[in-house]
Amino acid sequence: MRRLSVLLACVAMALTLIAIIVVPGASAASKPQYYGALYIGDVSQGESKLYWKTRTSKASAKQAALNTCQQKGATNCQLGVWVYNGWAAFAQGQSPGPVSPWWANWDRTDQGASQATLTACQADATDCRLLGLWQTAFDPKKKTTGGFK
């Protein structure tokens, strides 16, 4: 009976190792997605279309958002903002001319991102509206950073 228990334990360990080797992406899918990127499409068409994606790296978040923008048939896809460990916001306002200007910003909190975006919009436009607010995975022990390139 003892030999059977040892044999079953060995088989269980072997199957576990095989599962880890065969399915390497299973553990990667559960990693927190701290990076987010927002692409804006159809900017010259008036009301902009927004494409947000989160991933485990800045490059992959930016690429995923750009890919979605292009796959949805949007024209003039532009990076609005990226953020690590925080929030991103998007606002659009009115100004003279055919194109409605837009602003995007990031912050550690939803209120901070919203306020920074609306403040920037109101400095140059009227009738500013917050059209989007997105969050990445958040860890209070990590720093929040972001950018526009």
Sheet with 49-55, edge to edge strand ranges: 49-55, 35-41, 78-84, 145-147
Q: Between 123 and 21, whose confidence is greater?
A: 123
Q: What is the pLDDT of residue 46?
A: 61
Average pLDDT of every residue of the chain: 84
Single out the residue of 61, 58, 55 nearest to residue 137, CA to CA: 55
Asked whether residue 99 carries a pLDDT value surpassing 50, the answer given is yes
The pTM of the full predicted model, rounded to 2 decimals, is: 0.77
Question: Where are the chain's structural domains?
Answer: 1-30, 35-147
- Integer Cα distance of 66 and 79 in angstroms: 8
Query: Quick one: average pLDDT of 54-74?
Result: 96
Q: Residue 106: helix, strand or coil by DSSP?
A: strand
Average confidence (pLDDT) over 125-146: 96
Q: ∠ at Cα 52 (30, 86), nearest 5°?
A: 65
Residue 70 has a pLDDT of 95
Residue 20 pLDDT exceeds 60:
no
Secondary structure of residue 147 in the 3-state scheme: strand
Angle, CA of 64, 69 and 75, to the nearest 5°: 145
